[in-house]
Amino acid sequence: MWLYLAAVLVGLFLLRRWHRERQMVPGLSEKYVLITGCDSGFGHLLAQQLDARGLRVLAACLTEAGAARLRAATSPRLQTLLLDVTSSQSIATAAAWVRERVGDQGLWGLVNNAGIAIPIAPNEWLTKDDFVRVLDVNLVGLIEVTLSLLPLVRRARGRVVNVASILGRISCFGGGYCISKFGVEAFSDSLRLEMHNFGVKVSIIEPGYFKTMITNVENLEKSFISTWEKLPEEMKASYGENYLKKFSVALRNIQKKYSSNLRLVTDCMEHALTSCHPRTRYSAGWDAKLLYIPLSYLPSALTDVVLTWSYPRPARDA
């Protein structure tokens, strides 16, 4: 009897959740959304997706070539701007540009999507500048863009959607990428609490492994080899040439697990912007749901066993 009652309660909960999540925000055609990192990948696809839904998309690209490609694939309603999220001057200029366009109605949505991954390598191989390069884009740039546009979002009682990663829950490799995504999670959580009474909703997108420009294995491998070549000979001897080869093999094995269906991620972003009741977190991809999220809740000792199982061993296992 208790089992049946539990099943009924779970069913009712899921039915209520399904009903709430199908309720869409009215008047989407009048709402402005700014997306960063629209040259390629998730941002490029999301801009097309929201444009097709009739929203007024303001697409921030790093290059004019990326902006031109996007304009060619969308309606005249979509507008592009150039934005370097590591430049305070560029962010200030973009904020003024957005303010002119949205006017008194404010900015309904801000999607912080811009990000880089390289360099990725064992932490010992990297310098402070290697970490700063990634953190400036993925975390510090995201924070500065948000702070510059938050008054406009607050005016519209709108949405902030921050792209983190499943690696913002569990760190699998060295470099600034995982650190930056942990930071995005923390910043988003604090912002969500602060904005609650203003009617602003903050959502976090946590993709698993997807095939995008920043996860291009060839680029990651080149960066890894370039970092290796700069190491002192003593450190190279400690790790060994075989470590380098096995790490390259591991990268290529990961490539086989990448999903090319970017809609799994952009659909989450779209829902966060258009649903009356967006989720706090969206996990995109079966690897995120079935592997990395469960791993993140396990005791660290068990997680370490799983993650180090496929790690290459250094020559001097001291």
Could you list the active site residues? 177
Using DSSP, state whether 171 is helix, strand or coil. Answer: coil
Q: Are 217 and 252 in contact (CB under 8 A)?
A: yes
Strands 79-82 and 32-35, by their bridges, are unpaired
Distance (Å, rounded) from C-alpha 219 to C-alpha 197? 44
Q: Return the amino acid letter for 294.
A: P
Q: How many CA atoms lie less than 13 Å away from 122 in the CB half-sphere? A: 17
What are the CB-based long-range contacts (under 8 Å, 24+) for 127-133? 130/175, 130/176, 130/227, 131/175, 131/176, 131/179, 132/176, 133/176
Distance (Å, rounded) from C-alpha 107 to C-alpha 114? 18
Q: Are 208 and 163 in contact (CB under 8 A)?
A: no
Per-residue exposure over 225-249, b if at least 16 CB sit within 10 Å of its own CB, e if not: eebbeebeeeebebbbeebbebbbe
Distance (Å, rounded) from C-alpha 62 to C-alpha 287? 30
Residue with tokens 């390629």: 40
Show Cβ contacts of residue 170 under 8 Å, excluding neighbours closer than 6 positions.
292, 295, 296, 303, 307
